[in-house]
Structure 1
Amino acid sequence: MSQSRAAPIPRLKPLVSRLRPRLGLPNDHVHGATRRWELAPATRTVSPPALHHPDDLDRITGLGSSIRDIPSERRRVLGGMVEHAPTVAYELRDAVISGTQVFTWQIYLHVGTEPAPMVAGAQALHVDQASMASSWIGCRYFGHWLMDDLPRQLAVEALAPPLSVLTRPTPSQRVYADELDLAIPTVDEARVKRLIVIDDFGQNAGKKARYAELRGRARRRFPDAGGARVMLLRGSSGKRRMLTNEAALAAALEARGFVILDPGTCSVPQILSTCVDAALVVGVEGSQILNGAMWARTGATVLTIQPPHRFELIIKDLCDAIDLRYAFVVGERHGDTDFTVDISQVLRMIDRIDSDDGRVRS
């Protein structure tokens, strides 16, 4: 690995690869890879139904994802057979990493958050082989960094030394990586003779094993944690969907013995020492609740408070993969982006969860 001035011709790879679609030529990594192989096969599982009140389905007016529709999400709520995509590796030869994006003469892989350059930088790190530890979505959303890019790193570091294009990690991301013994070197300009990237969308058995490894690391780091009932506050963080009566809900749950955490002000060790092996995790649907869901004990329940205009089931996919139960309550819209929830309905759902837990234990 060395730092040197890049040759002028390869610096044109960003321009050439981005022009290919205008000529009717593909520029994706599936077509441009020099080699492709499967790391984990596709998996078929049965997804359990989400705990919910049937009336909540009628409150859903919009989704958080543009690639889904309300009828299909209603079916996902009810559970059933799910096909999980395989994890696939691709070898890219003589790759250029520039502006947090990846290029060859045939490929433009949009990963990081920086705008794609027309020409790669003159000064670059030269690497014989590496693997890409970042994903497009993980570079943009903290929750996806937790549940997608951390297990991604475990997959790619077995193939080649990992590199990340998350060039401005948050303090929390740095501490999480340290606590979980993950070294994530970042780079914004590099030339890599052999770069391995992966598609890791499916919650297949291989990804489930990587979740188990991460959860085991957290448990070994915080062996005295366990059994907490936790509410993780969202406030106005992330994409706005503020629960206007979140403080009142927190007060009601605190009266029931819940620990109330604000990930925006708590340290990562505080979060992990509370959330590792937690019994019940509650919060507005969003990245902040993954601070608890990722580490809750097997068989625990995650209860999301859903805005009716931005219903989302991504966290259910994680819960299914790591053997957690998933529950939700849908609120009522308040203004353009905010919403409120019936606190008594949330408390009834928690009573139902506790009742189900009692039947399981008996």
Structure 2
Amino acid sequence: IVQTHLPTRGFLLKEAWLLDGVVYKKGACTYLQPRKKKRPLLETDIEIAQAALYATASGIEYFGQWLIDDCVTYSLAQVYGALVTTDKKMSNHGLAYEQCFGMHPYRLESAYFKELVVFDDVGQNENKRQRFRDLKHKNACRHRREAASWRIYFAWAIRCIETFEK
């Protein structure tokens, strides 16, 4: 049996808007987070020529989804322009992971994009598996001194395990 996984796809949106957590392109929109205001302010002072939106609605809402979806898409998106996400406040725990992984996104409430790349990165294809391994390596390198007593599970959680002798 041969199993194939969905490919990672990127879509180029020309003349798109991010307004209060919602991406607009002509008559279409997608919600990344619930609006803060009933009606978004339809103007912005921020204009970005080329950007890549690495964030997902579930990743913005849930830490675990952010870790397994948005963090791996971030590394893919780096070559497509300024890395952007919404301005939703991150937890201190999430900020620590961002620092560990070398992530420095622009957090925006609103912006106009001449070109915005968005991703469909749900398939567990070989490229995504490699990006998981790269993040695991970044996390492991950060804790190299404690490597004798620490183990990495899955790709993310580091837990101290006592050594038991027989």
Q: TM-score normalised to the size of structure 2?
A: 0.84
8 Å contact kept, 1:134–1:149: yes
How far did residue 167 of structure 1 move? 2.0
| Residue from 184, 199, 211 that aligns with 2:132 | 211
How far did residue 121 of structure 1 move? 3.5
> CA offsets per residue over residues 200-227 of structure 1, 9 Å max, x none?
0001011011111111111111113446
Instruction: Give 1:265-344 correspondences, 5 Å limit.
Output: 274=150, 277-278=151-152, 292-295=153-156
What is aligned with 1:97? 18
Code of the aligned partner of 2:48: V
* Alpha-carbon spacing, 1:116–1:152, altered in 2? closer, same or farther (3 Å): farther
Q: Distance in 2 between matches of 1:118 and 1:132?
A: 22
More strand by share: 2
What is aligned with 1:51? none
What is aligned with 1:159? 80
Code of the aligned partner of 1:193: K
Calculate percent identity across the aligned residue pairs. Answer: 20
How far did residue 166 of structure 1 move? 4.7
* Alpha-carbon spacing, 1:118–1:82, altered in 2? closer, same or farther (3 Å): farther
What is aligned with 2:163? none
Q: Distance in 2 between matches of 1:131 and 1:117?
A: 26
What is aligned with 2:50? 129
Count of aligned pairs: 158
Instruction: Give 1:35-184 correspondences, 5 Å limit.
Output: 82-114=3-35, 118-184=39-105
List gaps (5 residues or longer) in structure 1: 1-79, 229-273, 279-291, 298-362
8 Å contact kept, 2:44–2:112: no
Q: Distance in 2 between matches of 1:186 and 1:120?
A: 17
What is aligned with 2:117? 196
Code of the aligned partner of 1:131: A
How far did residue 119 of structure 1 move? 4.7
8 Å contact kept, 2:82–2:106: no
List gaps (5 residues or longer) in structure 2: 159-166
> CA offsets per residue over residues 134-169 of structure 1, 9 Å max, x none?
101101111010111000111111211110115211
Larger CA Rg, structure 1 vs 2? 1
What is aligned with 1:222? 143
Bigger RCO (CA 8 Å, 6+ sep): 2
